[in-house]
Chains A and B, each alone.
Chain A
């Protein structure tokens, strides 16, 4: 089967100290490392796994700057067969719907039985592109997929609901599925593996290559725009215990004992 995975290059922020740029429109990213979006990593692994079991091909597609090639090469090293990068100044400032529109027009020119994306991106956390893309392509979708079995022209899918509950559904293919973390164990790729994947194709497309006008993409084509970023104000702050491990441990034990907690 032919699978397309939509991926995104995002800054690694889980352990990083985030500062906001002067002007409040972006985060200061000089010291941030960029990686493949965590959810997309699981989506790529899921696609490669399906290819290994059922045969076919995996293509990865991204809307992003030239630097996204790094992330595409990782996907190729994982086992994807080819990559497409959609890059154009006109795409800057695209909201989730505009991004989905760009992906839709590029994907229309490709063959696919299944499209996977991550549930959301580590940076904006919209959780919007996958389901919007499905609507635009005219195919069904399911989000928060934690288990997937393909059976010919259908897939049996488990969606992750709240509180440990799962929803089982059957969906006709082609479809868009957004993949939740933990669905599989993404394979590790070495620097050597990424170098070896250099032979695989990365094609680049711009606005002129897809059937869209400038007013349909970028800020011009967006219904939602960012006004300002700020650091969340802290309503409550923990009592931070200072000192060596000995000192803080002693202080904490004393407080917890006095409060009858321990």
Chain B
């Protein structure tokens, strides 16, 4: 079928941002080939969400079952493979999120469909699906192509398709029957857990100094904390620092951590992977200090210092503290 199918992602009663992004990107792809855009909502008592999705697609398919209330790739895959076999959409889109990463690969293996993951670009115009994705921590772009077939599956990186202002569609809501036996899976959702609040809420900070791998050793954090103190800032970090238990999780900036919007963000020894950068898109002024001139962080920073952070920080501390004192 000349249909682009988007799997709606929701959690705890809220439609997640990725869904709107996928509907926006999916709409462009659909328009380019006069295809219909359908959104698939799996849930329980999700009528309100279904109503909200109407503006974003030509059709809203809803499967309602207690087993679908919280995401679980077991029952979700049962419904999706049933829907895909029936409707044979040319393209199925999901976010490259905790949901998409759990569901897409096993679904693709079950249906023997080509799957491209973590895409930053998609193109259906050449008769098959070609996609752009990144490799080597974002340092390389790769153009990949699928073998021509009936349908393709893709997971899309968050933020790649921006939500565009367009005329609202008036999608019709259709209930679909979920296949039987959804409750017989070997994987059972128990609960969600929020990470405990720490002593500092970095999302409220005006000035943030974030450290990454470049800080090399735990003992160097003291110097970074000193620097942060001198400029009235709060210490935060990228993922590797938390993985090593050098700072608690509540200090992590990025997709699996916190999103911050400080007036000033100083990234020290941070390479700038996509996951980290996603956490600072709302920051005012970004300064990056890194020895590697090709570090991706320099693509988002306003100011960059390409030098050894151990040489720069002590001097910068004095100059910024002076500037603060005079302000």
A and B part of one assembly? yes
Q: Which residues of A are at the interface with B, using a C-beta cutoff of 8 A?
A: 11, 13-15, 17-18, 20, 27, 96-97, 100, 119, 122-132, 134-136, 139-144, 156, 158-172, 175, 181-182, 185, 222-232, 234-241, 245-246, 248-250, 252-257, 259, 261-262
Chain B residue at smallest Cβ distance from A20: B140
Known: A161-B98, A246-B315, A253-B322. A228 touches B288 (CB 8 A): no
Chain A residue at smallest Cβ distance from B149: A223
Q: Which residues of B are at the interface with A, using a C-beta cutoff of 8 A?
A: 11, 71-74, 96-98, 101-106, 108-110, 112-118, 130, 133-147, 149, 185-195, 207, 213, 231, 239-240, 242-245, 249-250, 252, 255-259, 263-264, 271, 284-288, 292-294, 296, 298-307, 311-312, 314-316, 318-320, 322-324, 326-327
Rank and list the top 4 A-B pairs by shortest CB-CB distance, nearest first.
A182-B243, A238-B304, A172-B186, A223-B114
Provide the main secondary structure of the chain A interface: mixed
B281 to chain A, nearest CB (A): 12
Q: Which residues of B contact A231 (CB under 8 A)?
A: 139-141
Q: Which residues of A contact B299 (CB under 8 A)?
A: 232, 234-238
Query: Is B303 touching A224 in the complex (CB atoms < 8 A)?
Result: no
Docked complex Cα distance between A238 and B104 (Å) = 36
Q: Which residues of A contact B117 (CB under 8 A)?
A: 96, 126-128
Q: Which residues of A contact B288 (CB under 8 A)?
A: 238
Query: Is A143 touching B101 in the complex (CB atoms < 8 A)?
Result: yes
Provide the main secondary structure of the chain B interface: mixed
Docked complex Cα distance between A128 and B103 (Å) = 10
Chain A residue at smallest Cβ distance from B136: A13
Query: Is B139 touching A18 in the complex (CB atoms < 8 A)?
Result: yes
A103 to chain B, nearest CB (A): 12
Give the contacting residue for A123; candidates B136, B255, B296; CB below 8 A: B136
Docked complex Cα distance between A182 and B242 (Å) = 7
Q: Which residues of A contact B245 (CB under 8 A)?
A: 185
Docked complex Cα distance between A182 and B141 (Å) = 27
Q: Which residues of B contact A166 (CB under 8 A)?
A: 192-193, 195
Docked complex Cα distance between A122 and B98 (Å) = 18
Q: Which residues of A contact B286 (CB under 8 A)?
A: 238
| Interface contact tally, CB-CB below 8 A | 280
Give the contacting residue for A135; candidates B106, B143, B322; CB below 8 A: B106
Docked complex Cα distance between A51 and B67 (Å) = 34
Known: A159-B98, A227-B130. A168 touches B191 (CB 8 A): yes
Chain B residue at smallest Cβ distance from A242: B306
Known: A169-B72, A169-B187, A171-B186. A162 touches B256 (CB 8 A): yes
Give the contacting residue for B193; candidates A97, A165, A257; CB below 8 A: A165
Give the contacting residue for B239; candidates A11, A181, A257, A261; CB below 8 A: A181
Known: A135-B106, A141-B73. A239 touches B190 (CB 8 A): no
Q: Which residues of B contact A225 (CB under 8 A)?
A: 144-145, 147
**Most chain A beta-carbon neighbours within 10 Å: one of B71, B134, B304, B323:** B323
A142 to chain B, nearest CB (A): 7
Docked complex Cα distance between A156 and B191 (Å) = 11
Q: Which residues of A contact B293 (CB under 8 A)?
A: 240
Query: Is A136 touching B109 in the complex (CB atoms < 8 A)?
Result: yes
B107 to chain A, nearest CB (A): 8
Q: Which residues of A contact B258 (CB under 8 A)?
A: 163-164
Query: Is B115 touching A97 in the complex (CB atoms < 8 A)?
Result: yes
A-B CB contact pairs (8 Å), 15 listed: A97-B108, A127-B117, A127-B118, A140-B187, A144-B101, A163-B257, A164-B249, A164-B256, A223-B114, A231-B141, A232-B140, A245-B312, A248-B305, A256-B323, A262-B320
Docked complex Cα distance between A134 and B146 (Å) = 22
Query: Is B136 touching A252 in the complex (CB atoms < 8 A)?
Result: no
Give the contacting residue for B256; candidates A122, A163, A175; CB below 8 A: A163
B156 to chain A, nearest CB (A): 13
Docked complex Cα distance between A229 and B106 (Å) = 27
B195 to chain A, nearest CB (A): 4
Chain A residue at smallest Cβ distance from B232: A262
Q: Which residues of B contact A125 (CB under 8 A)?
A: 118, 133-137
Q: Which residues of B contact A156 (CB under 8 A)?
A: 190
Query: Is B303 touching A239 in the complex (CB atoms < 8 A)?
Result: yes
Docked complex Cα distance between A256 and B311 (Å) = 20
Give the contacting residue for A253; candidates B296, B301, B323; CB below 8 A: B323
Give the contacting residue for B305; candidates A162, A234, A252; CB below 8 A: A252
Q: Which residues of B contact A17 (CB under 8 A)?
A: 292, 294
B286 to chain A, nearest CB (A): 8
Query: Is B146 touching A224 in the complex (CB atoms < 8 A)?
Result: yes
Q: Which residues of A contact B102 (CB under 8 A)?
A: 131, 141-144, 159
Docked complex Cα distance between A13 and B134 (Å) = 13
